[in-house]
Amino acid sequence: MYAIIGGTGVYQLNVSIQNLNIETEYGDVDLDFIEFDNGEKVYFLSRHGKDHSKPPHNVNYRANIMALSLLGVKYIYATAAVGSMNKKFIPGDIVLVNDFIDFTKSRVMTYYEGETGVKHVDMSDPYCSNLSNLFLKRAEESKVDIKGTAIYLTTEGPRFETKAEINMYKNFADVVGMTSVPEVVLAKELGMCYATIGIITNWCTGFKSEITLHDIESSMNMNKEKLTELFIDIFSNENLNQNNCKCNDSIIKL
Ligand SMILES: [Zn+2]
């Protein structure tokens, strides 16, 4: 089974969409899904809730990822709206996230609280290289322009960053967002392949922009739709397996 997190835009696709509510020990989660002819499903999870009511620091990350795991999901594409602090990436661009730096402060980061022994998850390849490479290949074939790979710095939010913070962050990362951590970590803890595509929505504090809000909104909507179509295309046509990545074998027990 497959999932897309954060992805709206699917509603424009000509497919019938059903919904369901999954209860987990961390809370319950609303999802939509479509079903392929072979019975495999793609689940759509709106990270901030369907009504966009949960700010980044209050997203129930553990419930979201656990719900997908309970449904048998092994492969997840996530989209993330990010600010750019790299002049190469301008608002409207799409980037592939290939690593993260975590500057969050108050989030529960793990399913492993010690009840089942002390466990650590390997983060040498946080975003699945298999899913990431497949995405790059299909994007190129579909003439969807990917501007490059980006290191994602996660802040706690919901406030934006100060100029001084961005001055420091830009030395180590390309884009800033508030949600990739702990989502990527929890997915890895549960042995899932997880990749993130960033959509640049704004310049970070202190960077100047000559692009109007209208331009950003229209390219955002276009990009969301294109990305969702690409993800579904990959899920329905590629023979995915976990033999070429370590996502399903990243827990180190002490
Ligand atoms: Zn993987």
Q: What tens-digit pLDDT sequence spans the chain (254 residues)?
A: 999 998 544 445 567 789 999 999 999 999 999 999 899 999 999 988 877 788 899 999 999 999 999 999 999 999 998 999 999 999 889 999 999 999 999 999 999 998 888 889 999 999 999 999 999 999 999 999 999 999 999 999 999 999 999 999 999 999 999 999 999 999 999 999 999 999 998 899 988 765 566 666 776 777 888 898 899 999 999 999 999 899 999 988 77
**CA 128 to ligand 1 centroid distance, Å:** 4
Q: Does residue 42 belong to any structural domain of this protein?
A: yes
Q: Does residue 244 belong to any structural domain of this protein?
A: no
pLDDT at 14: 60
Are the C-beta atoms of 7 and 13 separated by less than 8 Å?
Answer: no
Structure-block tokens of residue 253: 């027990």
pLDDT at 215: 62
Per the document, the length of the chain is 254
Structure-block tokens of residue 231: 């993800």
Structure-block tokens of residue 4: 């897309």
**CA 30 to ligand 1 centroid distance, Å:** 25
Q: Does residue 120 belong to any structural domain of this protein?
A: yes
**CA 102 to ligand 1 centroid distance, Å:** 21
**CA 130 to ligand 1 centroid distance, Å:** 6
**CA 243 to ligand 1 centroid distance, Å:** 8
Calculated CA dihedral for residues 93, 235, 98, 120, nearest 10 degrees:
150
Q: Which domain holds residue 175?
A: 2-239+249-253
**CA 203 to ligand 1 centroid distance, Å:** 31
Q: Phi-psi category of 148—alpha, beta or left, where left has phi over 0 and alpha has psi -120 to 50?
A: left
Task: Give 231-245 as a DSSP string.
Answer: HHHHHHHS---STTS
Q: Does residue 51 belong to any structural domain of this protein?
A: yes
CA distance 208 to 213: 13
CA distance 239 to 230: 15
CA distance 218 to 221: 5
**CA 188 to ligand 1 centroid distance, Å:** 9
Q: Does residue 15 belong to any structural domain of this protein?
A: yes
Q: Structurally, how many domains does the chain consist of?
A: 1
pLDDT at 82: 92
Whether omega before 126 lies within 30 degrees of 0, making that bond cis, reads no
**CA 98 to ligand 1 centroid distance, Å:** 13
Are the C-beta atoms of 171 and 210 separated by less than 8 Å?
Answer: no
**CA 209 to ligand 1 centroid distance, Å:** 36
**CA 17 to ligand 1 centroid distance, Å:** 27
**CA 15 to ligand 1 centroid distance, Å:** 27
Q: The CATH number of the domain where 76 resides is what?
A: 3.40.50.1580
Q: Does residue 156 belong to any structural domain of this protein?
A: yes
pLDDT at 220: 74
Phi and psi at residue 37, in whole multiples of 5°?
-60, -30
